[in-house]
Amino acid sequence: MDAIDVIVTKRDGRELSTEQIDWVIDAYTRGVVADEQMSALAMAILLNGMTRREIAEWTQAMIRSGTRMDWSSLPGRTTDKHSTGGVGDKITLPLAPLVAACGGYVPQLSGRGLGHTGGTLDKLESIPGWRASLSSDEMLGVLGEAGAVICAAGEGLAPADKKLYALRDVTGTVEAIPLIASSIMSKKIAEGTGALVLDVKVGSGAFMKTVERARELATTMVELGTDAGVNTVALLTAMDRPLGLTVGNALEVAESVEVLAGGGPEDVVELTVRLAREMLSAAGLDGGKDPADALKDGSAMDAWRRMIIAQGGDPDAALPVAAETMEIVAPATGVLTRLDAYGVGLAAWRLGAGRERKEDPVSFGAGITLHARPGDEVREGQPLMTLHADDAARFERAVAALDGAYAVGGPGEVDLLPLVIDRIRA
């Protein structure tokens, strides 16, 4: 088979055959197909799209490029959640132990932050001693002990995706929905979970800016999961404003612990409980304890502590605190009508909470604490947010990122997406 023939087929708007897809993924993984050739194919896919069959076979070919995990030795059903990423999106932290407390097993493979969106592993690494890298046997051990594990994906999981992801990032083909969907789902299917709930974010702080694009991506991923025999459902959720009242690694861990203790911001609690119910239902476990009760009776907190300890962390240790703080105050009296998720995320990134390159370190204490949310009444001079950084020199660029990201006006000017916009099944 020839790479040029595969490129020309998609360039001319025709379907790739099963043989072409299997060959090109395998050949690219082995280095037979060059980066420039795969770049041309990725651009042709971006421009001409793929059918459901093509996307499903592309995804399966990427799964076959590596190993597939197996949790059949566990005495219960597995269920997982994937978020497309956002600002203040700490939901995985309370969600995994919450579902475990209600009878599910949660093998959660997570990632690190890049740009304005935070990474689950970075947040958890602010807990002293906690380890992100676990072997398959260690994952199984933590699952057996705590019912949930949150860790990094191993090198053997869909290596074709890892190589293609890096290429898409530098060739202007990140936005291709067939490639986004297959990238996410190849890893999630290879993870071996029996049920999957997708949290597809919509808004300025999300990858998908419009409901229409988010629905297209969610539908494609649900179809991929269904075709692979994984019971899959998706929720479209709001990311036009940050989730909760904190953005940053240790700050979000502290807020997650508040949720597990029965408190925390209303939107974080609502979305955590909704996703937990979806995960349990998808796994056929919705006849037991309700997640809202598990937050109140302490069983979710118990599962959190077991999970953190099993991964080497100290749940009682003090979390990192930034050396410097700065307040942003309300410019007028009225109602906070706007708090743009992207602007807040960019500011937190500039404060040191995120990274430009995957090898860059993060500042665990850096980030933003919010004191008001859209719809809240504020007074002129009242603190709207507190910026946290280890280096005061970072404040100037963070403040610049917030220019135009918030506004004060009248109550009729607040226009927000509903927290849960839509639910999508096969």
Selected catalytic residue, list 77, 162, 187, 215: 187
Residue found under tokens 């807020």? 255
Q: Which residues, in sequence order, are bridge partners of residue 82?
A: 198
Beta strands across the sheet bearing 420-425: 80-83, 195-202, 231-238, 420-425
Structure-token pair, residue 415: 């226009």
CA angle 220, 357, 31 (to 5 degrees): 65
Cα(140)–Cα(146) distance, integer angstroms: 10
CB 181 within 8 A of CB 221: yes
Cα(116)–Cα(360) distance, integer angstroms: 14
Selected catalytic residue, list 80, 89, 122, 161: 161
DSSP string, 184-224: HHHHHHHTT-SEEEEEEEESTTSSB-SHHHHHHHHHHHHHH
Which is nearest to 276 in space by CA: 375, 426, 268? 268
Does an H or E element contain 361, and which?
Answer: none
Cα(420)–Cα(417) distance, integer angstroms: 8
Cα(280)–Cα(286) distance, integer angstroms: 5
The verdict on whether 168 is a catalytic residue reads: yes
The verdict on whether 116 is a catalytic residue reads: no
Which residues 6+ apart lie within 8 Å of 116 measured at CB?
Answer: 87, 205, 342, 345, 346, 348, 349, 354
Selected catalytic residue, list 77, 168, 241, 388: 168
Selected catalytic residue, list 10, 82, 215, 394: 82
| 3-state SS class at 426 | coil
CB 382 within 8 A of CB 307: no
φ, ψ at 31 (rounded to 5°): 90, 5
Cα(98)–Cα(421) distance, integer angstroms: 23
Specify the amino acid at residue 54: E
The verdict on whether 52 is a catalytic residue reads: no
Selected catalytic residue, list 183, 256, 299, 363: 183
Catalytic residues: 82, 161, 168, 183, 187
